[in-house]
């Protein structure tokens, strides 16, 4: 999902989600992180039934096709309609059964037998069976690299054993399987698209989720209404949900103040403290799985040298960046992995140390510095601030940084090319398993040339491969710990910070909670009058 980078494209202000100060390292309930809003678990009062929830976002959705759509604005809508077999836990560290009730794994780790929840119906009243599950996963797998199919690459075959049991056989042991099944692209839809063509089906998708499709005015608003057949008794509380497109952050805030909207998605960091102090508004920073970093292209001479990359990593004062860019709402980044992920270690990352930076550069091929270019997206104030701070921090090393602003799509294209030198980028997770990101970032054969840096370290690649196939969590943790230490030492990316997801709601909204993957469960939300 998480084309956060792309999201900011259409409205540079969409910027970044975030993480609350001090919340990161705790593994407890993530809601502990929020500003005492009572938002996440307003348990004591009785939920109010009915009402229409209006969610403001800067971008419209693109498509409801769960297998080939990559933008969050689409994904957050489709997740209310189509549900997966498993879903991520609130702290983002594990998955819990959802449309499934549990699974067993064969001794050779190659066969997973999954039991389906009974009494689950699609919004058209048709009961969900194993045939639907097989069809849904197979359709996703078929998209291959044109969609999310690559996520299912380890799957050999899906078999409907009986109406309530599904068996998945694998080509090789694959630890992230259950996490992969929690991805929206593996959400369950009726067998054979309920008799429609794929295109017709995704124009008005049917699923088992709390809400069903109602209407879409492109560029304006998407409306969902309550699914009368929902499997969780008494839920959803709301009658309907409306996702409105409001590109301007100020307008979103005003709509919230005027009670025309209930939820403001991604207010700017600069607005956050004002929002928090506005009566009637609850502003919350949910821990995320976003990491912002500077990519250094190893195809360009000075960056091939690890000493140069280390020097740059040491020279960046991450606390200053968090203060200036995230207004203190976030954490300095110290690992390839994010605190919202399982196996985050967070002990090896470079911290600000100018003496060490100078020493590292002295040992490098360019002891007296060099001139380089950093590419950022134009119109994105956060990126511009980061670039200027980094520019001034590298000056004492004799490194002259020229900042080049490109429009967001051009910047994106440049960051995926081979011509850039330094580039501002970010990543967020879609599944609660590090593999999605580590394979993209450290394995040159993962298709993305190691997050487009051409970084190649045989021992890191091997650690990543072992972790993929290791199903024992303790041993996996050890492997990922080594991987984090080594990648930090190689400094192939200069980690910057972990921003949280910012949301603001009116104080009438209860039960709204965002997981570190960015998903939210609207069946738990209700509005008091």
Partner 1 sequence: MLHRLRFIPGRILQAIPVAFGVSILVFLMSHLLPGNPAVAILGNHATPAAVASLSKHLGLDQPLWDQYWLFLVHLFQGDLGQSLTYGQPVVSLVFSAVPVTLSLVLYALVLSLIISVPLAGWAATRPGSVRDLGVRAYTLLGQGMPQFWVGIMLILLLAVRWGIFPVSGYGQSFTDHLYYLFLPALTLAISMCPTIIRSLRSSTIQALGSEYVATARSKGIGGASLFRVHVLRNAAIPTVSIVGVNLGYLVGGSLVIEKVFAIPGLGSLMINAIFARDFPTIQGVALFVAIFVVIVGIVTDIVYTLLDPRVDLTNTEAAR
- Which residues of the chain form contacts with partner 1 (CB under 8 A)? 2-7, 9-10, 59-60, 62-63, 70-71, 145-146, 217-220, 244-248, 250-251, 254-255, 257-258, 260, 406-414, 416, 427-428, 440, 446-449
Cβ pair 99, 85 in contact under 8 A: yes
Separation of first and last alpha carbons in the chain: 33
Q: Considering the complex, what minimum distance in angstroms separates the CB of residue 155 from partner 1?
A: 19
User: 447's torsion region: left (phi>0), alpha (psi -120 to 50) or beta?
Assistant: left
Q: With respect to partner 1, which residue has the nearer C-beta, 350 or 433?
A: 433
Q: Cα–Cα distance between 269 and 418 in angstroms, integer?
A: 32
Q: With respect to partner 1, which residue has the nearer C-beta, 223 or 356?
A: 223
How do strand 111-116 and strand 165-170 relate by DSSP bridges? antiparallel
Q: With respect to partner 1, which residue has the nearer C-beta, 70 or 352?
A: 70
Q: Considering the complex, what minimum distance in angstroms separates the CB of residue 246 from partner 1?
A: 4
Q: Considering the complex, what minimum distance in angstroms separates the CB of residue 16 from partner 1?
A: 13
Strands (E), 127-203: 155-162, 165-170
Q: With respect to partner 1, which residue has the nearer C-beta, 219 or 233?
A: 219
Q: With respect to partner 1, which residue has the nearer C-beta, 125 or 258?
A: 258
Report the candidate in 297, 289, 293, 264 with the shortest Cα–Cα distance to residue 278.
264
Q: Cα–Cα distance between 291 and 334 in angstroms, integer?
A: 10
Q: Considering the complex, what minimum distance in angstroms separates the CB of residue 443 from partner 1?
A: 12
* SS3 assignment, position 157: strand
Q: Considering the complex, what minimum distance in angstroms separates the CB of residue 516 from partner 1?
A: 16
Q: Cα–Cα distance between 387 and 158 in angstroms, integer?
A: 48
Q: With respect to partner 1, which residue has the nearer C-beta, 450 or 515?
A: 450
Q: Considering the complex, what minimum distance in angstroms separates the CB of residue 422 from partner 1?
A: 18
The token pair that represents 522 in the structure block: 């609207």
Cβ pair 56, 85 in contact under 8 A: no
- Can you tell me which residue has the tokens 């294209």? 413
Q: What is the DSSP letter of 54?
A: E
* SS3 assignment, position 177: helix
Q: With respect to partner 1, which residue has the nearer C-beta, 73 or 310?
A: 73
* SS3 assignment, position 215: strand
Q: Which stretches of 239-380 are DSSP H helices? A: 249-257, 269-276, 301-304, 306-315, 318-325, 354-362
Q: Considering the complex, what minimum distance in angstroms separates the CB of residue 347 from partner 1?
A: 27
Q: With respect to partner 1, which residue has the nearer C-beta, 319 or 508?
A: 508
Q: Considering the complex, what minimum distance in angstroms separates the CB of residue 303 from partner 1?
A: 20
Q: Considering the complex, what minimum distance in angstroms separates the CB of residue 270 from partner 1?
A: 16
Q: Three-state secondary structure along 392-441?
A: HHHHHHCCEEEEEEECHHHHHHHHCCCCCCEEEEEECCCCCCCHHHHHHH
Q: With respect to partner 1, which residue has the nearer C-beta, 136 or 450?
A: 450
């Amino acid at each position: 999902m998480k084309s956060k980078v792309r999201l900011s494209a259409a409205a540079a202000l969409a910027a970044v989600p975030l993480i609350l100060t001090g919340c990161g390292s705790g593994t407890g309930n993530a809601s502990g992180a929020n500003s005492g809003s009572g938002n996440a678990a307003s348990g004591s009062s009785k939920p109010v039934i009915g009402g229409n929830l209006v969610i403001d976002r800067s971008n419209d959705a693109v498509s409801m096709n769960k297998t080939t759509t990559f933008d969050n604005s689409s994904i957050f809508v489709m997740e209310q309609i189509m549900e997966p077999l498993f879903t991520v836990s609130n702290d983002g560290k594990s998955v819990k059964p959802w449309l499934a009730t549990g699974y067993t794994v064969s001794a050779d780790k190659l066969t997973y037998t999954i039991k389906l929840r009974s009494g689950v119906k699609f919004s058209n009243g048709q009961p969900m069976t194993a045939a639907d599950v097989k069809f849904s996963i197979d359709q996703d797998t078929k998209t291959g690299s044109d969609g999310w199919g690559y996520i299912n690459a380890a799957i050999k075959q899906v078999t409907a054993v009986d109406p309530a049991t599904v068996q998945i056989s694998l080509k090789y042991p694959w630890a992230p399987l259950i996490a992969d099944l929690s991805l929206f692209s593996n959400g369950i839809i009726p067998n054979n698209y309920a008799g429609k063509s794929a295109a017709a089906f995704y124009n008005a998708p049917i699923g088992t989720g709390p809400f069903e499709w109602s209407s879409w005015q492109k560029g304006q608003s998407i409306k969902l209404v309550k699914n009368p057949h929902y499997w969780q008794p008494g839920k959803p509380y709301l009658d309907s949900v409306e996702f409105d497109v409001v590109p301007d952050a100020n307008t979103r805030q005003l709509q919230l103040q005027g009670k025309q909207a209930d939820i403001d998605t991604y207010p700017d960091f600069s607005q956050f403290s004002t929002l928090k102090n506005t009566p009637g508004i609850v502003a919350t920073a949910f821990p995320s799985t976003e990491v912002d970093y500077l990519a250094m292209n190893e195809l360009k001479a000075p960056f091939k040298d690890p000493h140069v990359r280390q020097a740059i990593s040491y020279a960046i004062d991450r606390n200053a960046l968090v203060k200036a860019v995230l207004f203190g709402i976030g954490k300095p980044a110290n690992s390839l992995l994010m605190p919202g992920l399982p196996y985050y270690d967070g002990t090896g990352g470079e911290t600000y140390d100018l003496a060490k930076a100078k020493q590292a550069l002295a040992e490098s091929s360019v002891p007296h510095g060099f001139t380089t270019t950093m590419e950022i997206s134009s119109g994105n104030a956060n990126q511009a601030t980061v670039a200027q701070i980094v520019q001034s921090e590298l000056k004492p090393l004799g490194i002259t940084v020229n900042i080049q602003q490109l429009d967001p799509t051009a910047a994106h294209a440049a960051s995926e090319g081979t011509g850039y030198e330094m580039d501002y980028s970010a990543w967020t997770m879609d599944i609660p398993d590090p593999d999605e990101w580590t394979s993209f970032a450290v394995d040159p054969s993962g298709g993305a040339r190691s997050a487009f840096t051409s970084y190649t370290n045989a021992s890191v690649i091997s650690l990543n491969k072992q972790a993929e196939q290791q199903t024992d969590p303790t041993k996996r943790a050890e492997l990922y710990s080594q991987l984090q230490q080594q990648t930090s030492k190689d400094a192939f990316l200069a980690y910057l910070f972990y921003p949280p997801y910012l949301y603001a709601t009116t104080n009438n909204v209860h039960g709204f909670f965002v997981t570190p993957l960015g998903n939210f469960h609207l069946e738990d939300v209700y509005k008091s009058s």
